[in-house]
Structure 1
Amino acid sequence: MSMANGTLFLGIDGGGTSCRARIVDADGTVLGEGLGGPTNTTLGIDSAYQEIIGTTVRALTAAGLSESDIGRLHAGFGLAGLHLERDRKAMLAYEHPFASLSIGTDAYTACLGAHDGKDGGIAIFGTGSCGYAIINGEGINIGGWGFRISDHGCGAHVGLEAIRRALQAHDDILPQSEFTHAVMDRFDNNPDKAVIWAESAKPTDYGTFAPLVVEYARRNDSLAQRILWESAKEAGQIIHALQRKGADRVALLGGFSKYLKDWLPGEVIPLLVEPKGDAMEGAIRMARQAFEQKGRRI
């Protein structure tokens, strides 16, 4: 099918760390992909849309298309933050340049992609975290209410715990170790600098400390291991919650999940399966379904 007049679909996977775009033709052949920055809608609808448009243009360029072709794309957005009704309404009301638009949470599109549109669950552990399941066509959300009050088992919370424990060690509440020194070195061993940093730090900033925890846990630092074990225990609770909702297979997703997997409670391991596809594929599936229903917004 010629790209000059063929139907094109766009899948957007927008999270707290990055935005990914994929363009396919009507046969599902991948034409081009693009990568951009954070698109969590809680950071602002304008900011999220600007990042989506920029990432889409990169995908168009990779596909050998021009920016003017954006109006030919039947788009599906899977975005972090859309579990909030406020942000969902704002995103739907926003004037967009696409041929049609379907939206859902990033968890919904990730679950669609992971199980090829069939029933199943996902547990996402990246900068943030959440669980999601599709059971008998119904979406079920577990957690994911944001870094300040939720997102258990995520990289940002592991980073936060690293800083908290390092400060406790600095004050001789906990034993000092090479691990706590490595964390405090980020602040020139000065708690004042940690306090000032925390005043404006975002979840992604906390997440940059998670690799230190993994590194020193592998070196058998007991404090780093305890942080990972506690995080994995909370991750296991999310997986158990998905099971209670009816998900008998759960795919682990998110950049931090590969570090947590070896620390998960043994009883959840039999539930885990490899994802069949990614969130962009799920977003394209959503866009295609909407297109087949005459492109109505959902």
Structure 2
Amino acid sequence: MQMPDKLGIGIDGGGTKTKVLVKKSLTGDVLFEKKYPSTNYNNIGVDGLEQVLKTIYTELTEKFGKEQLANASLAMGAAGIDRPQDEVIYREALKNSGFDCNFEVFNDAYIALMGGNGGRKGALLITGTGSIAIGISTEGKEVRTGGWGYMTSDDGSGYKLGIKAVSAIMDSYDEIIENTSLTERVLNYYGIKSPEDFMDLIYIDKDFSIDKIAAIAPIVQEEAEKGDAAALDILYREIERLVAMIKALAKKMKTNEFRLCLAGSLMLKSDIYLRLFKAGMNKSLPGIQICEPLNEPAYGALIIALGEGTVNE
């Protein structure tokens, strides 16, 4: 258990932003809370990672002083931590940025699970730009499915919905499928006149990122809600993949009864996507309790930093 006079620092290093939360206890006052740029080194490089961490360290030092900061306990979850070699990079980056306190680093999904379920238990499904499912097995081991990047994985994600929408628009343009309302909506969104213009956007425009493809996912959900056949087909297929991910996760967890916390706006802010997912889960795995997060990921990192493994029982 963390000593009451020591600081606990929780850092949620997401793909688009980083949040820092500081407390002395989970029930105590928030002593510091601020958002910073992304700390995913896969997107910004090691130099970019260290630059953000140095800014965080400088501002925390100004707030609490070097001595108190050196005695703190820090836990960081980051979207770029998937393998042991990634952990090494983040540990070195923290050291090079000035942090000399006790610290641990994790994948951002793990701290989201800790926050979402109030401790090291249950499972978590994130559907954002990418997707990943993680859980704690009956043996206390961390297991996962998905989360291996947009080229090989990320089923049910914003990217998959977006790129499949573009494919459907091209199929419609080629008269392989019937007309789809996605065409007008998506062309207007990107400010292009013809489906043929996707060739320039996707293959030539260096600024046309994965995030920009994922950004049209809500359009797919909206048009599916209105009954567009192509949009509905995309949602049905991706929901099937998400359910398959959770079935595989349950097998690894060695149980079909657990709390599944949902994270990411793609699922939580879309009635139709959530409705279809729940229907698929109730059919395949009725013993799983689908819930919204109890707390944010930064709070999950704080649980680890403070050594308070389970809260909100």
How high is the TM-score relative to the length of structure 2? 0.80
For 2:73, the equivalent position in structure 1 comes to: 74
Following superposition of structure 1 onto structure 2, how do residues 93-242 of structure 1 map, counting pairs within 5 Å? Answer: 93-94=92-93, 95-98=96-99, 99-135=101-137, 136-185=139-188, 186-199=190-203, 200=206, 201-242=208-249
Tell me the distance in 1 between the aligned counterparts of 2:152 and 2:65: 40
Alignment-mate amino acid for residue 48 of structure 1: L
For 2:14, the equivalent position in structure 1 comes to: 15
Alignment-mate amino acid for residue 264 of structure 2: G
Question: For structure 1, which segment, 35-44 or 258-267, has the greater mean C-alpha deviation from structure 2 after superposition?
Answer: 35-44
Tell me the distance in 2 between the aligned counterparts of 1:235 and 1:54: 38
Tell me the distance in 2 between the aligned counterparts of 1:190 and 1:149: 29
How high is the TM-score relative to the length of structure 1? 0.84
Change (3 A) 1:142 1:9: same
CA shift for structure 1 position 132: 0.5
Change (3 A) 1:245 1:176: same
For 1:263, the equivalent position in structure 2 comes to: 276
**Structure 1: tracts of 5 or more residues without a match:** 291-298
CA shift for structure 1 position 215: 1.5
Tell me the distance in 1 between the aligned counterparts of 2:57 and 2:177: 49
For 1:293, the equivalent position in structure 2 comes to: none
Tell me the distance in 2 between the aligned counterparts of 1:85 and 1:130: 18
Q: State percent identity of aligned pairs.
A: 26
Aligned length: 283
Change (3 A) 1:128 1:120: same
CA shift for structure 1 position 79: 0.7
Indicate whether 1:84 and 2:83 are aligned: yes
Contact residue 75 and residue 104 of structure 2 kept, 8 A:
yes
Tell me the distance in 1 between the aligned counterparts of 2:42 and 2:65: 27
Deviations along 1:110-145, one digit per CA (max 9) or x if unpaired, are 122222224211111111100111223321121100
Question: For structure 1, which segment, 37-46 or 158-167, has the greater mean C-alpha deviation from structure 2 after superposition?
Answer: 37-46
CA shift for structure 1 position 206: 1.1
Instruction: Tell me the SS of whatever aligns to 1:75.
Output: strand
Deviations along 1:117-174, one digit per CA (max 9) or x if unpaired, are 2421111111110011122332112110011111111111111111111122122222
What's the RMSD between the two structures over aligned residues? 2.7
Instruction: Tell me the SS of whatever aligns to 1:65.
Output: helix
Instruction: Tell me the SS of whatever aligns to 1:236.
Output: helix
**Structure 2: tracts of 5 or more residues without a match:** 309-313
Deviations along 1:220-277, one digit per CA (max 9) or x if unpaired, are 1111111112111111111112211225321111121223311111324641234332
For 2:63, the equivalent position in structure 1 comes to: 65
Alignment-mate amino acid for residue 63 of structure 2: L
